[in-house]
Chain A
Amino acid sequence: MKKANDHGKFKYGMVIDIDKCTGCGTCMVACAAENNVAVRADQSDKERTITWMRLYKISNGKEFPKAEVSYFPRPCMHCDHHPPCVSVCVATATKLDFNTGIVSQIYTRCIGCRYCQAACPYGARYFNWWDVFPQDKGMDRYLTPEVSPRMRGVVEKCTFCHQRLMRAKTLAYAEDRREIEEGEYVTACAEACPAQAITFGDLNNPEHEVSKLIKHPFTFRLLERIGTEPKVYYHSNRDWIRKLGDNFLPGEYTPVVNKSWAEEEWSTKPGRDEF
């Protein structure tokens, strides 16, 4: 496999533990609150509602009472290898930062052609059809100055809370440090998750928890086979969830069986009991 972005120093990424995820949606709200995301009166039209972090509900497709639901929290995947949005942007409004691995979005450059939105395999990009939110309600009072509110007519998306990296760097600089520690820079969603399902860190740093977690046999990525090398990983012990990580043809998916795991540490079969 081709290794991308290996010349950068940092490569931030996250691992989301689907089994810990409770589907509560705090990550979505935390993200919207952190990033001055617009709110509209009707937010049930999911194509127009801006959710940098979005929960997708999945189901194992079985009948009652064997049915179960779960959730994929989906931020921008910050693809590490030719992010499709970057490739297509005619205005150079989005680019992959090789020093951090973050795929940025520069609103003032964006011309609103929405090509990137069409290119993104994850539906992680959103177009501002309207201004921030209804005027004269006093809601602009909670906007943070750390993130610029977007004007209508531009595309926006998850930035891995880039402003938090800036904040951590500034703090380190003020304390005369060259490096920031693990945990000093985490995204709003990771910080907010009440079940600690999201782990965030530097994938290039073997000491960081994330780089350990991605080696686990039950860790996977969404649409891994299109080769964009997303930096957002998922983890689940349930086979049906891992299977939904990609569009497998019938029979194409092979359940993960890591011999050493199965023999040494698994006393029961993965997944939960059937009753």
Chain B
Amino acid sequence: MKITRRNFIAAVVGGVAGIQATPLPWKFTDDVAIWTQNWPWVPVPATGEFTDVSSVCNLCPGGCGIAVRKVDERAIKIEGRTDYPVNPGGICPVGMGGLQLLYDESLRFTGPMKRVGLRGAGQFKEISWGEAFDIVAGRISNLRKKGTPEAIAAVDGNPEGTTVSVLIKRLMRAMGSPNYVRPPSINDTYRMGNLLMQGTLAPMAYDLENSDYVLSFGAGLLEGWGAPGRVMNAWGMWHDGNPAKRKTRIVQVESRASNTASKADMWVAPRPGTDGALALGIAHVIIKSGQYDSRFIADHSFGFEDWRSLEGVNHTGFKTLVLEKYSPEQVAEITGVNPKTIVSLAKGFVSAKTPVAVYGKGKDNLNGSLYEFMAVQNLNALKGSINRSGGVLLPDPIPLSDLPLLEVDAIASKGLKTPRLDQAGTMRYPFTDSLINNFTDAINRDSKSPVDTLLVFSANPFFTLPDGGGFKKALEKIPFIVSFSPYRDETANMADLILPDSTYLEKVDDIVWPTGLQYPLYGLSKPVVEPLYNTKNSGDTVIELSRAIDDSVGSGFPWENFEEVLQTRAKGLFDAGGGLVSYDPDAPAWQRQTAGNGPKPEYESFDEMWEGIQSEGMWYRPVSSPRSWKGLFNTPSGKFEFSSKLIAQAIENYSNKISKKAALKNMGLAATEDEVCMAHYEAPKAGADLSAYPLKMLPYEMINLASGWIPSPPFLYKTIFENQLLKDKSFAAINPKTAAKYHLEEGELVAVKSPAGEVQVRVNLSEGAMPGIVYLPLGFGHTAYDEFLKGKGVNPNNIVQAGQDPISGYPVWWNTPVKLIKV
């Protein structure tokens, strides 16, 4: 177009008029004004009266003491308590960021809700509590009327033994369903191992603080194992003062240079899943050199030497097995650890005064392997570190009272007779309480789900289970899902009905014996703030639900509220005597008191004790003198069993039903005869063509990222390094040598493919990674929650191909074959 005077004027006038019509100049002017002034939307936090409320953190089974700083009714900061026995002052980053889990509204359910959108879309409509109870109770009583109460199932992520989990179990029984399952944790492995080797029922009690040589097989001491506040405090103590005069040495056995491995005095890196073999190699050196505690072995153990049964059959003992099969050279072959290192580990272990061998797998969120645990526990036995200060203590179970016996009606007793979907406790898995992976398979196997109504408590199995996405498929098939989660997690988003729990800062709840602690502790959290929203303590919800179902179920729950149940159980603590309800930091609970010299309880009646527990949040019994050996081991032999008679019995029972060969095969055993009763190494089955999947994927945990059912407070993402998460991509730690084979460079996109699935990540070249292994961080890859957590990275659980651990049946999540494909 030619520029004429006319055109020119038209353009200018048009332009000026046009600018008036667009919002841009106004937006810019506005912005300039805003940027150069004080802007009104910077919040001015209201001030008021400052107070501190003492409570207990319930975000993990660690149960650290917390002091919450408040301004009037607002909680503004969480700090560690110095007057709490578990954690003298420190807490972990997740607990430190806990207020975001309370106040970030988009993470939470603000009241009972009904699903309105598609499953997984997270669209819900608020309803009343009455309506919510009607829906779920109606459904359950229908199933009961139809005579199929076993079609109700519950997934309960509350730690074993907590009062709310006892109530949920009770509700399941009262309704008549055997299908109560739990996500696996390391405590399950401990429980089973202790039962088989020691016949003890109390949780694992490692006396770390008094130990002078901590040989940790895979326990992520600095990754959040046990009560993080306790373990990290011990770490600080171990490193106090002049290093030359340091008392405690720490050795970490792990394939990756984790924080624990890096910070330990020595790091030994066996191939993943071969920790047990390494422990047996160490046992070999100890036995061969004769440096074991012969008194413990002679007086308090069974199955060390070869033995002859009453029927006159000769049996192989642990000594023969280990000397034959686990020489340092043989073990080096399996583990990849230098034989010299194995010898020096054995030397270090036996020459220490009070060494302890600790077993674990990262945090305590996931299970371990039974035989690995047994192999590690054998080291404690060889050194006589069992029932000795600085070793493994054998306390009694916490003396909480049992609830009154539950009488079930005819419908329930019929339902309870139906077999469990997960086959736990059957001849095939004789010592296992619950096998959620089998439960998932049972649902996915048939076209119609055997579960009609699923109740999910304090768990997010969709996200946390190492099952290659199996539970997600199961959820899609289950007709009706009820979630009791306070958070909008992945599993809750699949639910049809939400009966939201209050968060840990809004309710009273108990913590029963933090993982790994060497003395019994009962913690009680209290509402730090009034519930912000229309939520209800799940303990109360269960009681109310039982009454809404029918009178027969409701009659098993005669309590007014959850607190009354807590009190009922706590009676046993009073009856047992000797427990303290306050803590003096100058007398740490782990310091052994001479008999009768320790602090005395300061209460005289149950009411006084309960008042103390409520205000201080604790009941505990400090470590006392070693226990009398008499009746300590409740195994068939009455001794510590290197060779478990219970396992032998279980295999025999099963063999009587089907052939022995089939029995061993079903139980996942490659070994035969006496070996199966003892710790031994079996290479896990590959489950895939290893030429197509030449590498292994190992999920790893970090202390600064929640990988359990609790969401990570958004603050935690500040602590994540840019080579762990960048924008929406998480990183795989790969050894440069392995990466070079695939021509991968730092930051490059790569697909990690297993038979179960595929995820895309970036490459982080890390010398801390074992060649041949792809390490993926756990805790990323949420598809639920809000913009702080959603769509960041990938969840390695989605590609885990888990086999079953022999005998226990727990998932072997550390053995996924993968291949790398450059994107």
- With a CB–CB cut-off of 8 A, which chain B residues contact A59? 767-768
- Shortest CB-to-CB span from A198 to chain B, Å, is 10
- Shortest CB-to-CB span from B113 to chain A, Å, is 17
Q: How far is the CA of A49 from the CA of B726 in the complex (A)?
A: 12
| Chain A contact residues: helix, strand, loop or mixed | loop
> Nearest chain-B residue to A32 (Cβ)?
B715
> Nearest chain-A residue to B738 (Cβ)?
A64
* 4 tightest Cβ-Cβ pairs between the two chains A and B: A194-B90, A25-B719, A67-B767, A195-B236
- With a CB–CB cut-off of 8 A, which chain B residues contact A45? 722, 727
- With a CB–CB cut-off of 8 A, which chain B residues contact A149? 42-45
A65 touches B100 (CB 8 A): no
- With a CB–CB cut-off of 8 A, which chain A residues contact B727? 42, 44-45
List B759-794 residues whose CB lies under 8 Å from chain A.
766-771, 786-788, 792
CB of B54 closer than 8 Å to a CB of A? no
B717 touches A138 (CB 8 A): no
CB of A46 closer than 8 Å to a CB of B? yes
Q: Please name 11 further chain A to chain B contacts, defined as beta carbons within 8 Å, in addition to the given A43-B720, A65-B269, sorted by A numbering.
A: A22-B235, A22-B703, A28-B93, A32-B715, A39-B715, A49-B718, A142-B76, A143-B43, A151-B38, A192-B79, A237-B243
B703 touches A272 (CB 8 A): no
- With a CB–CB cut-off of 8 A, which chain A residues contact B99? 33, 142
Some 18 contacts from A to B, beta carbons below 8 A apart, are: A29-B97, A32-B715, A44-B725, A44-B792, A50-B718, A63-B767, A64-B769, A64-B771, A65-B257, A68-B257, A134-B787, A137-B106, A141-B74, A142-B74, A144-B45, A194-B89, A195-B233, A272-B266
- With a CB–CB cut-off of 8 A, which chain B residues contact A194? 80, 87, 89-92, 228-229, 232-233, 236
CB of A265 closer than 8 Å to a CB of B? yes
Q: How far is the CA of A76 from the CA of B229 in the complex (A)?
A: 26
CB of A20 closer than 8 Å to a CB of B? yes
- With a CB–CB cut-off of 8 A, which chain A residues contact B43? 132, 140, 143, 149
B722 touches A46 (CB 8 A): yes
The range of chain B's interface size is: 35 or more
Q: How far is the CA of A62 from the CA of B38 in the complex (A)?
A: 52
CB of A24 closer than 8 Å to a CB of B? yes
List A1-59 residues whose CB lies under 8 Å from chain B.
17, 19-20, 22-26, 28-30, 32-34, 36, 39, 41-46, 49-51, 55, 57, 59
A23 touches B259 (CB 8 A): yes
List A50-96 residues whose CB lies under 8 Å from chain B.
50-51, 55, 57, 59, 61-65, 67-70
CB of B344 closer than 8 Å to a CB of A? yes
In the complex, per-residue mask of B67-85: 1 if CB is within 8 Å of any chain A CB, else 0: 0010100111111100000
- Number of A interface residues at 8 Å Cβ cutoff, please give it: 74
CB of A102 closer than 8 Å to a CB of B? no
Q: How far is the CA of A219 from the CA of B452 in the complex (A)?
A: 64
Q: How far is the CA of A44 from the CA of B720 in the complex (A)?
A: 7
B788 touches A41 (CB 8 A): yes
CB of A123 closer than 8 Å to a CB of B? no
Count contacts between A and B, CB distance < 8 Å.
235
CB of A258 closer than 8 Å to a CB of B? no
- Shortest CB-to-CB span from A91 to chain B, Å, is 14
- Shortest CB-to-CB span from B52 to chain A, Å, is 12
List A86-137 residues whose CB lies under 8 Å from chain B.
108, 131-132, 134-135, 137
Would A29 and B39 be within 8 Å (CB), given that A65-B267, A137-B786 are in contact?
no
B767 touches A266 (CB 8 A): no
Q: How far is the CA of A64 from the CA of B338 in the complex (A)?
A: 14
Would A32 and B718 be within 8 Å (CB), given that A68-B262, A140-B45, A145-B71 are in contact?
yes
- With a CB–CB cut-off of 8 A, which chain A residues contact B47? 145
B717 touches A43 (CB 8 A): yes
B104 touches A137 (CB 8 A): yes
CB of B714 closer than 8 Å to a CB of A? yes
CB of B105 closer than 8 Å to a CB of A? yes
- Shortest CB-to-CB span from A20 to chain B, Å, is 5
B222 touches A132 (CB 8 A): no
Q: How far is the CA of A265 from the CA of B360 in the complex (A)?
A: 35
A33 touches B78 (CB 8 A): yes
B768 touches A68 (CB 8 A): yes
Q: How far is the CA of A25 from the CA of B222 in the complex (A)?
A: 11
CB of B314 closer than 8 Å to a CB of A? no
Q: How far is the CA of A192 from the CA of B338 in the complex (A)?
A: 40
- Pick from A30, A44, A64, A151: contact of B269, CB below 8 A: A64
A24 touches B713 (CB 8 A): no
B257 touches A141 (CB 8 A): no
Q: How far is the CA of A39 from the CA of B80 in the complex (A)?
A: 22
- With a CB–CB cut-off of 8 A, which chain A residues contact B92? 24, 26, 194
B768 touches A70 (CB 8 A): no
- Shortest CB-to-CB span from A7 to chain B, Å, is 34
Would A44 and B717 be within 8 Å (CB), given that A33-B78, A67-B767 are in contact?
yes
CB of B28 closer than 8 Å to a CB of A? no
Q: How far is the CA of A196 from the CA of B87 in the complex (A)?
A: 11
Q: How far is the CA of A32 from the CA of B267 in the complex (A)?
A: 33
CB of B408 closer than 8 Å to a CB of A? no
CB of B261 closer than 8 Å to a CB of A? yes
- With a CB–CB cut-off of 8 A, which chain A residues contact B244? 265-268
- With a CB–CB cut-off of 8 A, which chain B residues contact A141? 74, 103
